[in-house]
Structure 1
C-alpha cells in the first residue's frame, strides 16, 4: 500500500491511502488520523489500511478523490527521529581521494551516520528556501525507510522486521557551511536545513522484486532544470543494508515508531550513471580535470527526484522543488 498526508488537519496533516498509480486517494478516517498515529499502533492499523488500499485500487472505496500532489504535505510532516547514513562508499572514497585522504578501514564495517533534522519536513512540492546562495546549496537524492518501534540492541535480522515503509528524501545540504562545522568536531547543524520526503511512502511488499536484502534495487533518477543529472543504481554499491543501518542506530537505544533512516547519497563506482548530488559531480570533475565545473544551486533552479518501475511509472511520486530566497 501507499500512504500520504494531506495539508489539512493541523501540523501532522491528514492520513490518506493513495492508489498504486498515484491518481486517486481516500482518507483513512476511522483507522488513523495521521501517519504517526498509524505507526504508533501499526499491528492494528496496517491490516485495516491495507484493506482500504485494496478497495481503492479495485475502485470500490467510498469517498475516493483525485490525488493532487500539490495538496500533499510530507507523509510524515514531522518525525521523532531522522538518522541519516552514508552507506554508499564510492561517494566517500571519491570525496576523500579528491582531498588526498584515505578512507579509514572502519568505514567498511561500521556505518557512518548522524542525527538529522526531523522537527519538520518540506512537502514534496515545497520550495527549498535558504538565506543566501553563498552557502553552497546542494540536493542529495536518497532512499529512506520508516520503522515501527524497534527494541534496543536489535540484530539486523530483527531490525528488518521493523522496516514498515520505504520512500525518498531530498536531504538538502549547505556545502559552504559543512567544513567549518565538521572542523569543530561536533557534527552538522546549520549546514543541514529541512529536507523533503517523497509524496508517498510505500510498504516493502509494494516494491516486489525491487526490494531484496533490505535494499531498493532501482535507479534513482535526478534532473536539474529539466536536464538529466543522474540515475545511480540504489541496489549497487550500498555497503550496508537498511536492516544493518537500523540495527546500528538501535545498538544502545530503542527507536520510536516513526523513526526515519536515510541511506545517504546514492552513488556508484560507475560514474557514467551520473550523480545524486552536486558535491559528488564536482568531486568527479575535480579528480578528472583538477577543478569542479558544476556550480551549486542558485535561486530559481529546479530539481526533480524520482524512482520508477520497469514500466516507467513513478512509485513514490516525484520530489519537485525550486530554490528560493528567504523573504525579508
Structure 2
C-alpha cells in the first residue's frame, strides 16, 4: 500500500491513498483524514484501506485525481517522535578515522541514535531555507520507518512487527555547527534543522523480496546539482537493521504510534557506489589527499533523492529540493 499527504492549508494535511504506479490518488476521509489518525488506529483501519487500494489499482474507484508529488507534504508533516540512528557503522568509522580518532568497540554492538526535531518537517519538493552558507550545509540520504505503538523493552524480533511504513529521508545537517555542540557533551540541536521525507510512504510488502531482515535491499540514489553523487545499496553494510533500531529506541520508554525512526546515512564499504552525504566524500578526500576538495552546499544548490525498483520505476517519488537563504 502507498500513502501520501496532500497540502490543504492545515498543519497535518489530507491523507491520500496512492496507486502503486504513483499515477492516481484518492482521499479517504471516511477512514482517516490524516496520516496520524491512520497510525493511531492502524490495526483497525489497514484492512479497510487495503480493500480500497486494490480497487484503486484496478481502476475501479471514482473521485480519483492524478497524483501530483508537488502537492505533497512529508507523509507526516509533523510527528510525535523523530529518532535518527547511525546504522551504517562503517560511515562512523570513516569519519572518525579522518580526524585520527579511535572508534569505541561498543559502536558495533549498541546503536547510535539522536532525537531530532519533529514539529516542522519540510515538504519533499520545498526549498530548504537556512541562515548561512558558513554553517556547512549537507544533505544525508536515508531511509526511515513509521511505527505503530511500541511497548517499552520490546525485543528486536517483536519490534519488526511494529514497522508499518517506509519512507526516504533528507536529514539536513549543518556540519560546521556540529563540533561546537558535541563539545558541550549534550548532543545535536542547532546543527540539525528540519528534515524532509519522500512524497510517498509505503508498506514493506510493496518491496517484495527487496525487504528482508528489516532492511531495504536496493540502492538509494542521490543527485547533487543534477549529477549522480552516490547510489550505495541500503541493504549492504547495515550493521543494525530497523527492528534493532526500533528496539533500541524503546529500551526505556514506550514509543507512540506514528514515531519515525531513521537509518542514518546510507554507506557501503565499496566506495565505487559513491556516498550519501558530502561529509563522507570530504572524509575520503582527507584520507587520500590530506584535505577535502569538495565544498558543502551553497545557496542555489539542489539535491534529489529517490529509490527505483528492479524495472527502474520510482517507488517513493523523489525528494527534490534547493537550498535557499532564509529571510524572515
TM-score range, shorter chain: over 0.9
What residue is the counterpart of 2:115 in the other structure?
115
SS in 2 for 1:219: coil
What residue is the counterpart of 1:193 in the other structure?
193
Residue 85 (structure 1) aligned with residue 121 (structure 2): no
What residue is the counterpart of 2:16 in the other structure?
16
What residue is the counterpart of 1:282 in the other structure?
282
SS in 2 for 1:279: helix
What residue is the counterpart of 1:316 in the other structure?
316
What residue is the counterpart of 2:293 in the other structure?
293
Q: Distance in 1 between matches of 2:74 and 2:50?
A: 20
Residue 179 (structure 1) aligned with residue 179 (structure 2): yes
What residue is the counterpart of 1:265 in the other structure?
265
Aligned-residue CA RMSD (Å): 0.7
Superposed CA deviations along residues 218-239 of structure 1, whole A, max 9, x for unmatched, are 0010001110100011000000
C-alpha displacement of 1:103: 1.2
C-alpha displacement of 1:89: 1.0
Q: Distance in 1 between matches of 2:18 and 2:109?
A: 38
What residue is the counterpart of 2:161 in the other structure?
161
C-alpha displacement of 1:9: 5.3
Runs (4 or more) in structure 1 with deviation over 3 Å come to none
What residue is the counterpart of 1:67 in the other structure?
67
C-alpha displacement of 1:274: 0.4
Query: TM-score, normalised on structure 2?
Result: 0.99
Q: Residues 39-58 of structure 1: matches in 2 within 5 Å?
A: 39-58=39-58
Q: Distance in 2 between matches of 1:61 and 1:281?
A: 47
Q: Distance in 1 between matches of 2:240 and 2:326?
A: 37
Query: TM-score, normalised on structure 1?
Result: 0.99
Q: Distance in 1 between matches of 2:266 and 2:63?
A: 38
Superposed CA deviations along residues 10-62 of structure 1, whole A, max 9, x for unmatched, are 10000001111111100012000000000000011111111111111110112
SS in 1 for 2:182: helix
C-alpha displacement of 1:120: 1.5
How many residues in Structure 1 have an aligned counterpart in Structure 2?
328
